[in-house]
Structure 1
Amino acid sequence: MNIAIIGLGEVGRCYVTALATLSGTTFEFCDTHLSQAGRDLASKFELSVHSEIGPWLAEADWVLSCVFGAVSLDVAGQCFEHMKVGSRYADLTTASPADKRVAAVRAKAKGLNYIDVAVMGAISLALSQTPLLCAGEGASDFAALIQSAGGNARIVEGGAAGDAISLKVLRSVFTKGMEALAVELLMAAERQGVREKLYGVLGDIDDSPLEDFINMLVRTHTIHAKRRTHEVAEAQKELRGSGLTSLVLPGVEARFAKTAAASEANPVGESPSLEDALQWLLKHAA
């Protein structure tokens, strides 16, 4: 099995090391701005590094793109021109969902399998054990390849190319928002001298599965947004009284206020289901 690695940055080098443990595996390397670490890896495998994509890719059974997301679509197009029919292209970049969907269509037209791969953690910390999320035609094959090399990969069941990177971005929306709130929460609790007691009053949140908790928040948001807008404003006043100005809560207040205004004109009903709440929000308060 011949594997071409496009881009010998941190991700590319990591999976060369992992896949090299598979018997019968050979490599081709390509990097337009080769680092010293990339040179050292190539030297270890006694391989030269291609400075550009070209006909040499016709020998590859797998092509793993590990380049910057901004150039991912262009690099994919160049690779597709030289890959043999039936070979597989795994895009491990941070390209947008839209770019990955376009690449998948172009790959299919060339008789190639395109796999959208989202790296769901820090490669520098977990190396090949970093979770990978895979979607698109051939996703199960790529996941199996990585798993056979001792890596950590799973597929998005029924997912198309673009779905894996979409889920990564959405996860980031949640975790980065939670991070910002956690920073302000603990700063305020420390300033008020109640940090150790805080976890006790948050304990009931642990009693519900995360999915149920998120669904409950969205469903009840459409009903209680007006009251909660005032509660958010009061919370900001309390923080200011402690000498802290929230950077997060003004955005939260704006979100609640927009929903409240839309609800005044187009009430959602007394007890909407999650589906009803989501559709109403997308129609009236997006």
Structure 2
Amino acid sequence: MTHAPLKIGIIGFGEVGSSFTRGLLDGGGVDIVAYDDPPGPTERALALRRAAELDVRLAFEPSILGDRDIVLSSVTQDAAAVAARASIPALLPSVIYADVNSLGPSVKAEVAGIVTATGRAFVDIAIMGAPASGLHRVPLLAAGGPASELAARLAPFGFDIRVVGDRPGQAAAVKILRSVLTKGLETLLVESLVAARRYGLDGEVIDSFVEMFERKGARDVIDFLLRSHGVHAGRRALEVAQSADTIAQVGLDPVVSRVVSARLAGLADLGLKRSLGGEQPATLALAIAHLDAALGHTASQETLLHVRHD
């Protein structure tokens, strides 16, 4: 028995949308169309060229999405809500609208509200890899009521979707908060390794840093740093201040190191070492809970993500 192809619509035919499309078409079993609203002639020509290369129907009006089972929105961050408002009237009531854009959780929840206000299903998708190389098989996180259904329907086509919650914005929050770690590490690497190069020691610094993770494992490094933080933040603040001086001595402005030192000093001033009796918390979860309590809660209201209070 021959099954009808799954009808997928792509909103935004940029790098992400075209990469997903390329991977899906390679596997077969899908019928794909795309809708785009390019901001200018250059973007319009690029979208048309990509569609021609992939032999995909591309339109500049959302009506092309009218018979789709699933719609994936992959536009620029500032266009996510606009794309939802423009597209929704053309879509079937039974459609699943999945937003794969890199948005903060509150913005993702706003887009969800636009979609669900019309009675249509919405799933928050966070892309945790590089679609340009991994195509549609990159790791994805999903949140929202229909997330499990979407994951099940797309799994046969090679999608790797892990459901992390039932509220739109939860997948986005994981990605955006992980970005604090990845982009923070990126900027620290730039500052440290450029300075290390000026000392003629970049290879040695890289080897030493990598060895720490290889010897302990990434999870154990996180556990060590956070559990010992309350006790040792003050000492570490002084160490990083010396690091900043070392960077400055080779003519590089230690912007990030100065901020890290100040942040560590501020955390030390919270008195965690005293309240912990100089002892490290027994678990990583307890360490984070102690830091949470010491830092206080600045949110004016509970968010749609139902902020956790341990």
Amino acid at match of 1:237: D
TM-score of the superposed pair, with normalisation by structure 1 = 0.83
Amino acid at match of 1:31: D
Q: Deviations over 1:247-286 (max 9, x none)?
A: 211110110121123328x943223431442223331899
For residue 280 of structure 1, what is the aligned residue in structure 2?
Answer: 293
For residue 9 of structure 1, what is the aligned residue in structure 2?
Answer: 14
Q: Deviations over 1:122-147 (max 9, x none)?
A: 33333334332222233234334544
Q: CA deviation at 1:195?
A: 4.2
Q: Secondary structure of the equivalent of 1:157?
A: strand
Q: Deviations over 1:225-258 (max 9, x none)?
A: 2222222222222333444442211110110121
Of 159, 172, 176, which residue of structure 2 is paired with 1:169?
176
1:39 aligns with 2:31: no
1:250 aligns with 2:258: yes
Q: d(CA) in 2 for partners of 1:150 and 1:123?
A: 13
Q: d(CA) in 2 for partners of 1:255 and 1:107?
A: 40
Q: CA deviation at 1:59?
A: 1.4
Q: CA deviation at 1:201?
A: 4.8
Q: d(CA) in 1 for partners of 2:164 and 2:297?
A: 31
Q: Secondary structure of the equivalent of 2:295?
A: helix
Q: d(CA) in 2 for partners of 1:261 and 1:13?
A: 50
Q: CA deviation at 1:106?
A: 3.9
Aligned-residue CA RMSD (Å): 3.0
Of 171, 186, 197, which residue of structure 2 is paired with 1:190?
197
Distance 1:77 1:281, change over 3 A: farther
Q: Secondary structure of the equivalent of 2:270?
A: helix
Of 37, 62, 66, which residue of structure 2 is paired with 1:53?
62
Q: d(CA) in 1 for partners of 2:297 and 2:144?
A: 33
Amino acid at match of 1:92: V
Distance 1:31 1:196, change over 3 A: closer
Q: d(CA) in 2 for partners of 1:233 and 1:23?
A: 57
Q: d(CA) in 1 for partners of 2:101 and 2:177?
A: 16
Distance 1:194 1:75, change over 3 A: closer
Q: CA deviation at 1:171?
A: 2.0
Q: d(CA) in 2 for partners of 1:44 and 1:243?
A: 49
Distance 1:29 1:235, change over 3 A: closer
1:136 aligns with 2:144: yes
Amino acid at match of 1:58: G
CA contact (8 A) 2:100 2:127 kept: yes
CA contact (8 A) 1:156 1:163 kept: no
Q: d(CA) in 1 for partners of 2:199 and 2:76?
A: 44
For residue 270 of structure 2, what is the aligned residue in structure 1?
Answer: 262
Count residues with an aligned counterpart: 283
For residue 32 of structure 2, what is the aligned residue in structure 1?
Answer: 27
For residue 71 of structure 2, what is the aligned residue in structure 1?
Answer: 63
1:122 aligns with 2:118: no
Q: Secondary structure of the equivalent of 2:266?
A: helix
Of 207, 210, 213, which residue of structure 1 is paired with 2:218?
210
Of 62, 80, 86, which residue of structure 2 is paired with 1:72?
80
Structure 1: stretches of 5+ with no match in the other structure: none
For residue 242 of structure 2, what is the aligned residue in structure 1?
Answer: 234
> Does 213-222 or 236-245 show the bigger shift?
236-245
